[in-house]
Amino acid sequence: MAKKQTGLSTNNLLWLILAMAAGTFLLVVMNYLNTNGGRVSFRVSAATGNGAPNGPHYNLNIHGVPKGKTAPMTGTDTHNIFVPEVGKCKINLSPGEFSVLDGNCTDGPAAFQLPAPDPTNSGVTSYSVWARALGKPGGKANASTCADQVTVEPETGVETTATYCSVYTLSLERTKGKSTFGDVSKYLLYVYADLNLDGVLERYPLFDPALQGYFWDWNNQGMKLVQLRFYPIASVVPAP
C-alpha cells in the first residue's frame, strides 16, 4: 500500500513563500504611501453614483440668484455663497480651515477660507475639489483662479500691481439628464501664468508667496447652483 502523503510538496511550499513575501511587500508600500512625509493617502474610495469619491468632505454651494441679497452673510459659515444669476463677481480666498466668511457676492466680493493645497508646489494636492452643475438646464458658469503680483520700482519706490488669472478656466454647463461630479482641482487651487514674461508657463498653488490677494473670478450665465466638494484625498495636477 502506498504511503499517504502529508504536508506540503516542495512546489506548494515555494508558492506559499512567494505569496507571503508579496503580501508583506504590498503592506510596506501601502504604509509608505500613507505615512511618507506626512502626505495624504493616495488610496481613493470607490466613486458614488454621482461620480464623486465616497467619504467625508466639506460642501460649498454657489447659488445664482436674480436679485441681490441684503441679509448679513458674514461669520455664519452657512456653506453657501450667492452670486448674480447673470454677471461676474469676485470670491476672495484666504488660508485657514474651510469656512464661508462672507456668503454675499451680490453686493461686493464674497470671501471663502480654505487650506493651502500644495505648500511645496509639488503638483500633488493635499485635498481635492470636485464640482457639478445643478438646476435648470441651460445655465453656464466660468471660474478662474486669479491673484495679484506687486512689484516695487527700485529707484522711485512706486508699487505696481498686476493681476494674473490662470490659463485654465473652469467651465460648467447644466445639461439635461443626470449631473455628475468631476475633479476640478487644477482650476480652483492653482494659478497657471507666465509672471516673468519669458514665454514659459509657471504654476502657483493657492497662497504661494509669489502672488497676493488670491480670488476666484466667477462669471455666471444663468447657472442656478454649483456644488463644490472638498475631499481629503490627493489629486495630481499638470506640470506648468
Q: What is the pLDDT of residue 47?
A: 56
Our CA angle for 129, 78, 166, nearest 5°, is 35
Write down the mean pLDDT value for the chain: 83
Q: Please indicate whether residue 191 or residue 13 has the higher confidence score (pLDDT).
A: 191
Our CA angle for 49, 51, 54, nearest 5°, is 75
Threshold 0.85, pTM exceeds: no
Pick the range with the lowest mean pLDDT from 96-100, 149-153, 168-172, 219-223: 149-153
d(CA 164, CA 148): 6
Summarised one tens digit per residue, pLDDT across range 20-29 is 444 433 333 3
Residue type at 232?
P
Q: Which residues, including other chains, have CB under 8 Å from residue 172's CB and lie 6 or more apart? A: 131, 132, 133, 140, 141, 142, 143, 223, 226
Whether 110 shows a pLDDT value over 60: the answer reads yes
Q: Please indicate whether residue 77 or residue 55 has the higher confidence score (pLDDT).
A: 55
Summarised one tens digit per residue, pLDDT across range 145-182 is 999 998 888 888 888 899 999 999 999 999 988 899 99
